[in-house]
Amino acid sequence: MSEDKKKEIDKKELKAKIEKATERLSLLERQAREAKIPILITFDGYSAAGKGLQINRLIQAMDPRGFDVYAGGKGGEEAAMHPFLWNYAIKTPADGRIAIFDTSWYRFVQKDLFDGKTKESQLDDAFYDICAFEQQLIDSGMVLIKLFLSISQKEQKRRFEKLEGSKETSWRVNSNDWKRNAQFEKFEKINQNMIERSENKEAPWVIIDANDGDQAGLAIMLAVAERLEKALADRAKGKKAGVYKGPVPEKDQYKYGILSKVDLTKTLEKSEYKEKLAKLQKKLEKLHSELYRQRIPVVLCFEGWDAAGKGGAIKRLTSHMDPRGYKVCPTPAPNSVEKAHHYMWRFWNNVPKDGHVAIYDRTWYGRVMVERIEGFCTEDDWRRAYKEINDFEAHLSHSGAVVLKFWIDIDKDEQEKRFNERMINPAKQWKITDEDWRNREKWDQYEEAVNEMIENTDTELAPWIVVEGNSKYYARIKVLKTVVKALEEKIKEVEKADK
Amino acid sequence: MSEDKKKEIDKKELKAKIEKATERLSLLERQAREAKIPILITFDGYSAAGKGLQINRLIQAMDPRGFDVYAGGKGGEEAAMHPFLWNYAIKTPADGRIAIFDTSWYRFVQKDLFDGKTKESQLDDAFYDICAFEQQLIDSGMVLIKLFLSISQKEQKRRFEKLEGSKETSWRVNSNDWKRNAQFEKFEKINQNMIERSENKEAPWVIIDANDGDQAGLAIMLAVAERLEKALADRAKGKKAGVYKGPVPEKDQYKYGILSKVDLTKTLEKSEYKEKLAKLQKKLEKLHSELYRQRIPVVLCFEGWDAAGKGGAIKRLTSHMDPRGYKVCPTPAPNSVEKAHHYMWRFWNNVPKDGHVAIYDRTWYGRVMVERIEGFCTEDDWRRAYKEINDFEAHLSHSGAVVLKFWIDIDKDEQEKRFNERMINPAKQWKITDEDWRNREKWDQYEEAVNEMIENTDTELAPWIVVEGNSKYYARIKVLKTVVKALEEKIKEVEKADK
C-alpha cells in the first residue's frame, strides 16, 4: 500500500472516530444538563495551539442553549483591577450549564509570569489560591476539566508565520508571542512547574498534543466525554467527589465561647460620641480619597444579631464617603439565579475593585449561621465552609485588600427592647418581622454557631472584631476607629513598599 | 439683627428642612419599594458641581438594601466597545429598586461632544436614540428623574483650585475639566442644546443651582420626593404614565400577509448544498476575522416555527467561526431576575461588543409573538413593542452594527412530519415537548402575529429575511449567503469611510 493511500485511510478512520465521539458527547452533555451538573472546561497551553478551533469543534457537539464560551479570559482593565481569580469566579457555571474558558486563571502564573506582570514572590500565594479555589468548585459538585494544549517550538513558529502572512490574521501574533517562542525552554519550564504545583487528582491536567489538529480534537472530545461519564456514574451512585471535611468539635465545645466574654456594659456619652464621630468621619473621608489614589481595595463585613445596629453603624461609616468609591452590598435570601450557583458566587460579584470599598451587610458567613441552623445546606457543606471562607478571604488579602469582619453583639434583653421599640414606632415597623421573633427563639443555637465561626475564621489576614453593641454610640465609634486604624496602617505599608 | 445672626438662623432653618425632607424621602422610598416601582435617578451637569456629595446625602435617606449607585458612568473600555446606551441599559433597575447614576447616557452628547469624541454628525441619531430609550423606560412604568447640577464658571474654578490644592484630591481635576472651564460659554451652549433636545414631560429635567451645596441638597431631595409621591399616587389610581400606543390594524388585516406568499417548494440538491456550504463557510471564516479587525459588531436574529431548523442553520453558520468572536444567545423563558426587569434588559446584556457576533436563537420578538398570544403582557405592551424594537435595533445600527433578522418558514405539514420524526428518534426526543404540540394548535394566531410583526418591523437598518425552510439545505444556504453578502457590503462601506 502506498504512503498516500495509507494516509487517506487513516484520515477516514480518524474522521469516523470524531463523528462517533461527537455523538457520544452530544448525548452526555444532555444527560449532564438533566442531572444539573455544572461543568467548567478550561483551555490553557501554548499560543497558536489551536484553542479557538478546538473549542468550536467541541461546542458543535453541544446544544447552544447549554454552554457559554468566555474568550479574552485575559480580562482587560476590569479584571486587572480585581483579584486574579475574580474574572473567572464570576463566570463559573450554574447547575446544569457548561462554561468554557479559552484562557483560565492559570494565565496569572504562566504568561503573566513570563511577561513579568506576575512576580516570582507572588507565586506561592497564587498557587495556594488556585488550588483552594479549584477544590471549592470540585467539592461543590462541579466537574472541572483542565486541558493543556501543547505544540512544539517549530510548529508554533510555523503557525505564527502563517498567521502573520495574511492581513486578516496577522493581528493575532504579538511580540510577546515571539518572545515566548524564542525562549521556548524557559516558557516550558514555567508550564511544567505550573502543572506540577496545581495537580489535583479530581481535576487532573489533560495534556493534549496539539501538533495535529484532528488528533487533538479527538483527544479532547474523548477526555471530556470520559469525565462526564464518570461524573454521571458518580451521581447515579450518590457518590460525592472527594469532599474536604472540616474538623468536628467536641459536643458543647462552643456552647460557651467568645460571645460569653463580651463586656456589654461599655457605653459612651452622647456629647463624647458626637465629638468623636465628627473627627473620625473627617479622617475617614481623607483616607477614602487616599486609598483610591493608592488603589487599595477594602472589604468590610458586618454580621450580628437582628437589631444589633449593623445598619446604623454602616450609615455612620459611609455618611462622609464619596458614594462613587464605596458600595453597600445587602444580602437578602438568594434569588433563583444565585441559588443555582456556588454559594460564594453572588459575593464574588461584589468583590471591590482596586481603590474601592465594599461593605457587606451580612455576608458569606450566612453559610455557617442561617444555612447551618435552618438546614439549607448539609453539615458537610457548612463544615467545609470555614476553610473555604478563609481561603476566599486570604485571596482578597493576597491581592492587596484590607479585610475586616465585625460581629456586633448585643444581649437578649437589649434585643427584646429594640424589637418592641420597632413594633411601636410606625417609621420602624417594617424593620421587624415574624421571622425576627422566630430567629430569636434560636438564640442559643446561633450563639454556639457564632462562637464556632469566629474561632474557625479569625485569621491574621482577615480578623474578626467583636463589637460591644448594647450602646449604639459605643459600637459605632469602635467600628469607625477600627476601620480608620486599619486603613492608616495599610496606607503606610503600601507607601513603604513603594519606596 | 446682625448679618451673622441672620445667617445662623437661615442655616438652622435649612438644616431643619433637610431633616424633614430626609424623613419624607425615607418613607416614600419604602413605599415605592413596596409598590415595586423601579426608579432611575441620573446626575448630570458640571464637573465639581458636587455630585458625589449630593448622591451621598440622598442615599442616607434610603435603605441601603434598595438602591445601587453606579459611578464611573463614563464606562471604561467595555463601554467604549458597545453602543453608548448599553452601559446604562444593563444597569436599569429591577422592579422596586433604585439605580443612581453619577453620569448618564448624556455624557455622549455633552462632555464627549465637547472633547471631540462624539462627532456633530452623530448628534441627530444620538438624540433620537436617547429620547426613544427614555420613553421606553417611562412607558414600562419606571420613574426617571434627571437632575442637572449647575455651577458658575467662577465657582467651578474655585473648586478646581481647592481640589488641586490637596494631594488626596488633585487627581480629580484633569486638563479637560480646565478646558471646559476656560470655554465655559461653549460648554454651556452644549448643555442648553442637550436639555432642549431631550425634554420629556414625563421625565422633565430638574435644573439644580449647585453653587450652594446645602440648598442644592434640599432641592434635590424635594424634587425626588415630589416625583415619588406622584408616581405612588398614579399607581394608586391605576393610572399608566403616558404610554405610547402603537397603531391598531383593521380586523383580519394580517390574516393573510407575507407568510402566505412564501414559496416553500424551493429546494436544493445535496451535492450542490455541500459544495456551496463549504465555499460559504470558508468565506465567512475570513469575513469574521476581517470584521474583528474592523471592529464591526454583528447581530443575527433567528425566529421561526418550532422545528423550522433554526438550530441547524445556526450550526452551519458558526461551525467555521472562531468561538472567541461569536456567541449564541438562547432565549429560554425568563428567570425571576429577568422578569423583574424591563423586557429588553436581558437582550441588552448580550449586545455584542465591537468586532463580535451575537446570534440570538429567538429574540425580543417574543414580546409580539408568544407573550402576545399567551397573554404574558397586555395588548398595550405588545402594541408598543413594535416601535420599541425598531428603536432598539436602530440604536444598534447607529452604533455601527450589522443587524439581520431571519424568519425561517415552513408549512404545517412539514412541521408535523418533523415533530413525528423527533418523537421516533431517541436522539431527538428531548427536542419535542407537549408545549410544541400545543403551540401548533395556535398556528393561525401565530401566523397573523408574524405577518403583523414583519410588516411593522422590517426596516432598512434591520431588515427581515424570510427564509423558505421546507428544504433545510435551501434554508441554510440562503442564511449563509445573506450573512456573507451583508458583511461584505458593511466591510466595504467601512473601508470606504476610513479612506
The rounded Cα A250 to chain-centroid distance in angstroms is: 31
Max Cα-Cα span within chain A = 100
Is B320 an 8 Å CB contact of chain A? yes
Asked if the Cβ–Cβ distance from B76 to A77 is below 8 Å, we say yes
Contact between A314 and A361 under an 8 Å Cβ cutoff? The reply is yes
Contact between B79 and B338 under an 8 Å Cβ cutoff? The reply is no
pLDDT of residue B282: 96
Q: What is the pTM of this model?
A: 0.91
Q: Which residues of B touch A314 (CB under 8 A)?
A: 64
Q: How many Å apart are CA B221 and CA B145, to the nearest integer? A: 11
Residues facing residue A99 across a β-bridge: A40, A68
Give whole-number Cα distances, B115 to B110, B112, B316, B487, in Å: 9, 5, 44, 32
pLDDT of residue B66: 87
Give start and end residues of each alpha helix (H) in A61-140: 77-80, 86-89, 111-114, 123-139
Nearest to B411 by CA among B309, B301, B272: B309
Identify the CATH number of the domain defined by range A13-236. 3.40.50.300
Q: A13-236 and A258-498: same fold?
A: yes
Cell numbers 420613553 correspond to B135
pLDDT of residue B372: 97
Q: What is the mean pLDDT of each run of 10 residues along chain B (499 residues)?
A: 85 93 93 96 96 92 87 76 96 96 95 95 98 96 97 97 90 93 97 97 96 96 97 90 80 91 96 98 94 95 97 93 91 93 97 96 97 95 96 98 98 96 86 90 96 97 98 98 98 91
Residue type, B446: Y
Q: In this structure, is the dihedral angle defined by the CA atoms of residues B7, B13, B15 and B18, taken in order, positive or negative? A: negative
Q: How many Å apart are CA B312 and CA A131, to the nearest integer? A: 40
pLDDT of residue A242: 66
**For B320, nearest residue in chain A (alpha carbons):** A56
Is B55 an 8 Å CB contact of chain A? yes
Identify the CATH number of the domain defined by range A258-498. 3.40.50.300
Q: Which residues of A touch B30 (CB under 8 A)?
A: 430
Three-state secondary structure along B262-300? CCCCCCCCHHHHHHHHHHHHHHHHHHHHHHHHCCCCEEE
Is B427 an 8 Å CB contact of chain A? yes
At residue A302, φ and ψ (nearest 5 deg) are -120, 120
> Which residues touch B218 (CB under 8 Å, ≥6 apart)?
B14, B17, B18, B21
Is B169 an 8 Å CB contact of chain A? yes
Out of B65, B290, B330, name the one closest to residue A64 (CB). Answer: B330
pLDDT of residue B242: 66
- Chain B, residues 328-387, CB within 8 A of chain A, namely 328, 330, 332, 335-337, 361
Residue A438 is placed in which grid cell?
Answer: 422566630
Cβ contacts from A onto B, under 8 A? 108
When scoring A28, A289, A300 by the number of chain B Cβ atoms within 10 A, the one with the most, hence best to mutate, is A289
Contact between B52 and B216 under an 8 Å Cβ cutoff? The reply is no
Give whole-number Cα distances, A402 to A395, A425, A482, in Å: 11, 38, 12
Out of B59, B77, B315, name the one closest to residue A76 (CB). Answer: B77
Q: How many Å apart are CA A71 and CA A107, to the nearest integer? A: 13
Query: For chain A, which residues make up each domain, given as ranges?
Result: 13-236, 258-498
> Which residues touch B325 (CB under 8 Å, ≥6 apart)?
A71, B288, B292, B355, B356, B357
Asked if the Cβ–Cβ distance from B102 to A325 is below 8 Å, we say no
Out of A71, A293, A324, name the one closest to residue B171 (CB). Answer: A293
Distance from CA of B68 to the nearest CA of A (A): 8
- How many CB atoms neighbour CB B358 within 10 A? 20
Distance from CA of A250 to the nearest CA of B (A): 38
**For A320, nearest residue in chain B (alpha carbons):** B56
Nearest to B362 by CA among B413, B320, B305: B305
Q: Which residues of A touch B65 (CB under 8 A)?
A: 330, 332, 361
Q: Which residues of A touch B167 (CB under 8 A)?
A: 293
Asked if the Cβ–Cβ distance from B26 to A427 is below 8 Å, we say yes
Nearest to B422 by CA among B262, B311, B290, B271: B311
3-state secondary structure of B39: strand
pLDDT in tens, chain A (499 residues): 688 888 888 899 999 999 999 999 999 999 999 999 999 999 999 999 999 999 999 998 888 888 999 986 556 888 999 999 999 999 999 999 999 999 999 999 999 999 999 999 999 999 999 999 999 999 999 999 999 999 999 999 999 999 999 887 888 899 999 999 999 999 999 999 999 999 999 999 999 999 999 999 999 999 999 999 999 999 999 887 667 788 889 988 999 999 999 999 999 999 999 999 999 999 999 999 999 999 999 999 999 999 999 999 999 999 889 888 999 999 999 999 999 999 999 999 999 999 999 999 999 999 999 999 999 999 999 999 999 999 999 999 999 999 999 999 999 999 999 999 999 988 788 888 899 999 999 999 999 999 999 999 999 999 999 999 999 999 999 999 999 999 999 999 999 988 7
Is B285 an 8 Å CB contact of chain A? no
Residue A251 is placed in which grid cell?
Answer: 459536643
Residue A448 is placed in which grid cell?
Answer: 454556639
Residue type, A257: G
pLDDT of residue A427: 79
Distance from CA of B353 to the nearest CA of A (A): 12
Contact between B16 and B119 under an 8 Å Cβ cutoff? The reply is no
* CATH class belonging to B14-236: alpha beta
Out of A52, A63, A311, name the one closest to residue B323 (CB). Answer: A52
**For B359, nearest residue in chain A (alpha carbons):** A64
Residues facing residue A39 across a β-bridge: A98, A143
Is B164 an 8 Å CB contact of chain A? no
Give whole-number Cα distances, B17 to A277, B217, B222, in Å: 23, 10, 10
